[in-house]
């Protein structure tokens, strides 16, 4: 199959660089990243680098998708909220672990949301729910979520998103204006967040 060797090599390289678990590794192997990047960039689809996807946005580097998937500690059947659909690749990786029908993604740009929806459907993840809108507001209709993550940098976890995650759930986001840190938070029963820092990152800002 097209790009199968390149994808396997990418997964091996990421696994050698990062200590990722088996479910993350299997998800990265299953999702055809080349289908989610613009046609002119497909030769670079399996390089471990971000790539432009239009509207000033990027598809994250594979190692970063793997790190975030691991940090979310996903399990089959969990409801997951994604803020920043982009091209849909990260949602597809998440869907491989929890099931496509359990992934809800909000994208600011109408055009990207429509394109992601089309790509996800074509590649076999049509049950992922994608809508265009303000990611800072989350997606209240499907709350509560077991997990929520942002694929764009915020100054803090958006209040609405944090409220839509259940007690005991996990939030994950690049946090910072300028210098950014990947922050994971466990939601306590009183609604407060127990935060952990997981290294410096660089993401496009939340819009």
> Among 23, 60, 121, 167, which one carries the catalytic annotation?
60
Strands (E) in 60-178, as ranges, are 80-83, 103-107, 129-132, 145-150, 165-175
Across the strands, what pairs with 147?
Answer: 80, 170
Q: Which two tokens stand for residue 65?
A: 């998708």
CA distance from start to end of the chain: 37
The CA angle 198-196-180, to the nearest 5 degrees, is 50
Residue 106: φ, ψ to 5°:
-115, 130
Length reported for the chain: 207
What's the gap between Cα 202 and its chain centre? Answer: 14
Tell me, yes or no, if 60 is annotated catalytic: yes
Enzyme catalytic residues: 60
């Amino acid at each position: 199959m097209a790009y199968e060797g390149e994808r396997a090599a990418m997964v091996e390289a990421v696994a050698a660089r990062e200590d990722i678990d088996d479910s993350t590794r299997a998800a990265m192997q299953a999702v055809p990243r080349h289908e989610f990047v613009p046609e002119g960039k497909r030769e670079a689809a399996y390089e471990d680098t971000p790539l432009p996807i239009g509207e000033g946005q990027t598809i994250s580097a594979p190692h970063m998708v793997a790190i975030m998937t691991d940090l979310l500690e996903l399990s089959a059947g969990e409801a997951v909220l994604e803020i920043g659909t982009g091209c849909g690749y990260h949602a597809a990786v998440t869907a491989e672990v929890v099931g496509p029908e359990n992934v809800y993604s909000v994208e600011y740009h109408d055009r990207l949301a429509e394109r992601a929806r089309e790509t996800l459907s074509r590649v076999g993840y049509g049950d992922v729910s994608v809508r265009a809108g303000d990611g800072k507001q989350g997606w209240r209709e499907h709350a509560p979520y077991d997990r929520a993550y942002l694929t764009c940098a915020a100054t803090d976890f958006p209040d609405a998103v944090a409220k839509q995650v259940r007690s005991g759930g996990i939030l994950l986001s690049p946090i910072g204006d300028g210098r950014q840190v990947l922050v994971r938070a466990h939601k306590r029963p009183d609604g407060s967040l127990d935060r952990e820092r997981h290294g410096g990152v660089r993401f496009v800002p939340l819009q």
